[in-house]
Amino acid sequence: MNARPDSRAFSGTVTGREVLGDHLVRVTITDLGAFASTGVPDEWVALTVPGQFQNRYYTVRSFSAGALVLDIVIHDEGLVTQWAQTDCVGDVVGISAPKGSFELPPDASWVVLVGDLTGLPAIARIGETIALPVTAYVETPDHPLSGYTDLPITWVDAPAPEESGLAALVRGLDWPEGSGYFWMAGESAQMRDIRRHVRQDLAMASTAYDVMGYWSGSRGRQRRAVDPGPIYAAGKAAGKSDDQIWDDYDKARGDSVG
């Protein structure tokens, strides 16, 4: 995820904001021009919020009649976290073209889905879309979000705020019989552990699972050495292109480190 996707491929206007839970906010974005869904149920976009040129990835919860719905988890702090807590209706945001990863093998007879709250939008959309028996586990710091989806979900308490115990959960799972597909998303170190587990202990074929790191706990909460906001604003005011502003930002970061 180090590559910079073209997160301003489309711009759209936030036309709705709804609080779904203590840690979840839904935004609806319209006026997206030629934006089109891939139809892959875990597809995501890069979102750039006003005053920033860094982006963050969000699952397309739905795209229908020109309205893109993203469900944003509110962390203790964070760039989009902060923005989503404001009255953002009317804001113009940047959105990349969507990209998906979920790929059901033709012989799959079941699907197991596991994630933390950041994986919930994809888990719900996958479960609502496919016709196979689905078992879904979602780890949450909140009470179960029972109205979120019709898909039956086993809600699991997070061990502590901003922590995840999903690797232990997966290691203790009773897997359905026969061929199936396992999809999982959450904290990157836990995902690495589970990739090893499914490959080495369970001998799953690489086509039978998709385990994705959605965020990194190990990066900690270090503040960025250089705040991109003022650089972005100054660059825009000076009529610079996004690439030129990226160069300014990289230079400022280099200067601050060296």
> Contact residues for ligand FAD (CB under 6 A)?
1, 44, 56-59, 71-73, 75, 77-81, 118, 121, 162, 214-217, 219-221
- Residue 194 CB, nearest approach to ligand FAD (Å): 16
Shortest Å distance, C-beta 151 to ligand FAD? 15
Neighbours of 235 (CB within 10 A): 20
Residue nearest to ligand FAD (CB): 78
Give the single-character DSSP code of 99: B
Closer Cβ to ligand FAD, 118 or 149, answer by number: 118
Q: How far is the CB of 177 from ligand FAD (least distance, A)?
A: 30
Rank residues 179 and 188 by Cβ distance to ligand FAD and give the closer one: 188
3-state secondary structure 37-59: CCCCCCCEEEEECCCCCCCEEEE
Query: Residue 212: which residues within 8 A CB-CB, separation 6 or more?
Result: 101, 184, 185, 191
Nearer residue to ligand FAD within complex by CB, 5 or 144: 5
Nearer to ligand FAD, 77 or 103 (CB): 77
Quick count: other Cβ atoms within 10 Å of Cβ 16?
13
81 to each of 13, 155, 160, 162, 189, how far by Cα in Å? 18, 23, 19, 13, 22
- Least distance in angstroms from the C-beta of 88 to ligand FAD: 13
By the 8 A CB rule, do 118 and 138 touch? no
Q: Which amino acid is at 200?
A: Q
Rg of the chain on CA atoms, in Å: 19
Closest approach, Cβ 17 to ligand FAD, in A, equals 14
Q: Which is nearer to ligand FAD, 15 or 85 (CB)?
A: 85
Please check whether residue 5 is in contact with residue 46, taking contact to mean a CB–CB distance below 8 angstroms: yes
In the complex, minimum distance from the CB of residue 41 to ligand FAD, in angstroms, rounded to a whole number: 12
- Residue 194 and residue 184 in contact, taking contact as beta carbons nearer than 8 Å: yes
